[in-house]
Structure 1
Amino acid sequence: MAEKAYELTYNGLNELHAELEDRKTRVAADIADRLKQAREFGDISENSEFEEATLAKADNEIRIHEIETILKNATVIEEKRVSKTRVSLGGQVLLRDEETGDEEAYLIVGAQEEDVFNGRLSNESPVGAALIGKQKGQVVEVKTPSGMLKYKIIDISLPKGVHNNDK
């Protein structure tokens, strides 16, 4: 079975490398200290601190494996692939909510980088998928778990510092 390909911005790739390094060093050391302290309490069969630290260790190892898999199969979204006329992966889009009039800017990213609260919208989310390929001025209606949403695309641009080291 072929591994899934992951498309990441340059920033997303760097963030994953940093998270991996942090998990392999600081987080793993913190968990090792917690396990050591929990063992010092004696009987580990009914030791909640030991159980929690063991679960944290397993969670950390799972996330390390996930990140390594993503990085092994990652493709960086190159600036030249980002459309300036259509919503595309790696591009930035300014939307106006047609109901409230509120405007929000989003960077369209792969699912591994999604963070809606920080302006990063996955191309696999209902809204992101509906926006891909659309042009400035178009109105998009999206059925989401919270109901129908209607957005007008106000602008499409190439964000600075996302696809290379230029901040």
Structure 2
Amino acid sequence: MAEEKTYPMTLEGKQKLEEELNTLKTAKRAEVIQRIKIARGFGDLSENSEYESAKDEQSFVEGRIKTLEQMLNHAEIIDNGDIAADEIAVGKTVTFKELPDEEPETYTIVGAAEADPFSGKISNESPIAKGLVGHKLGEDVEIETPGGTMKVKIVEVK
């Protein structure tokens, strides 16, 4: 039997997914069902765009619920208790400078489920995170990215 995929995430990330799941199951699901009922009242379902739109949204909501349940059932909460304070790992925040003299960039490395690059959270599966994990404060690291090799200096790990 195939091994189940686990989803590494921080406790905060798990709580956010649980909140989203709760909102989808309680508020959003009921809202979509109400839209379907209203759209049915418009008559012929074969040419009813409101009905089609509501059914599409229902499919999306139910799919997202299923995805979230899968992720939460197989969540692996990140515990960095055994990791050295200056070593990069999932759940830690790292600041690095691209060499020779770029501005520092700061990212928190999180599981793919909670990645949000616009908020400074990158997936542990991203090329940058893969290149940084396991390295330590002060090291110069070469990271392979789709755009080529990037040379960085790690300037802070939290």
Q: Same fold (TM over 0.5)?
A: yes
Change (3 A) 1:122 1:20: same
RMSD: 1.6
- Partner of 2:68 in structure 1? 67
- Partner of 2:52 in structure 1? 51
* Unmatched runs of 5 consecutive residues or more in structure 2: none
Structure 1 residue 11 displacement after superposition:
0.3
Moved over 6 A (4+): none
- Partner of 2:151 in structure 1? 150
- Partner of 1:118 in structure 2? 119
Larger mean Cα displacement after TM superposition, 137-146 or 63-72: 137-146
Structure 1 residue 38 displacement after superposition:
1.3
Q: Deviations over 1:144-166 (max 9, x none)?
A: 33444332211111xxxxxxxxx
- Partner of 1:40 in structure 2? 41
- Partner of 2:131 in structure 1? 130
In the superposition, the TM-score normalised over structure 1's length comes to 0.86
Matches within 5 A, 1:19-30: 19-30=20-31
Q: Deviations over 1:48-86 (max 9, x none)?
A: 111111111111111111111111111211241443121
Larger mean Cα displacement after TM superposition, 43-52 or 125-134: 43-52
Change (3 A) 1:45 1:52: same
Q: Deviations over 1:7-37 (max 9, x none)?
A: 1101001001000001101111221122122
Q: Identity rate of aligned residues, in percent?
A: 38
Q: SS where residue 96 of structure 1 aligns?
A: strand
* Unmatched runs of 5 consecutive residues or more in structure 1: 158-167
Pairs aligned (count): 157
Partner amino acid, structure 2, of 1:129: K
Larger mean Cα displacement after TM superposition, 89-98 or 135-144: 135-144
The reply on whether 1:16 has 2:30 as its aligned counterpart is no
Q: SS where residue 33 of structure 2 aligns?
A: helix
CA contact (8 A) 2:13 2:114 kept: yes
